[in-house]
Amino acid sequence: MRSMGAEKIAALVNTFGMSLISVSKEMGVQLSLVKSEVAQGVNTSGSCCAALVGVVGGGLQGTIVVMLDEPGFGAVVTAMSGGMIQPSLEDPVSMSVIGELTNMVSGRALIQSSLQGVDVTPPQIITGAGIRTIPTQSPGIRTFTLPFRVAQGGTLYLILSFHG
């Protein structure tokens, strides 16, 4: 598989960030990028849940992770479900909201970046205490962390890793 250039990857990271902001806004979640903490590499403080999807095809091979701390998780579940779902880390229905968000963001980002033939895996959802991602040591993999403040409270991290 042909790997992507640095410029293409930077554009893609940007597109995913924009998609996250616009999808969230439509769902009633206001996110603002904490520009001072954007990191190449991984720089997340303790979160309690994560949803991961793999994206493969069209010269792309990577993973997208949405990670939230507890206030952020509560705010997103409440807003996206219109208050219909009680945020709970023990409840698969509540957790699946985060998977759905990750799916929607990936879908929109891939459409907007006009990448053809890209497939997205079903989201894998993980809970725990003090969750964080560890930067891979493999050469040729670039990882980016975009931290977002949630207006209702809390922090959401968007973590992208790509071959290229």
The binding site for a copy of itself (CB under 8 A) comprises 1, 46-47, 50, 52-57, 61-63, 65, 92-93, 95-96, 99, 119-138, 141, 159, 161-163
Give, for 40, the enclosing helix (H) or strand (E). strand 39-40
Closest approach of a copy of itself to the CB of residue 13, in Å = 15
Name which of 15 and 63 has its Cβ closer to a copy of itself: 63
CB of 126 to a copy of itself, least distance (A): 6
**Which parts of 39-91 fold into alpha helices (H)?**
70-80
Report the b/e string of 129-143 with b at 16+ CB within 10 A.
eebbbebeeeeeebb
Q: Which is nearer to a copy of itself, 32 or 40 (CB)?
A: 40
Question: What is the C-alpha to C-alpha distance for residues 29 and 72, in angstroms, rounded to an integer?
Answer: 10
Minimum CB–partner distance for residue 7 and a copy of itself (Å): 20
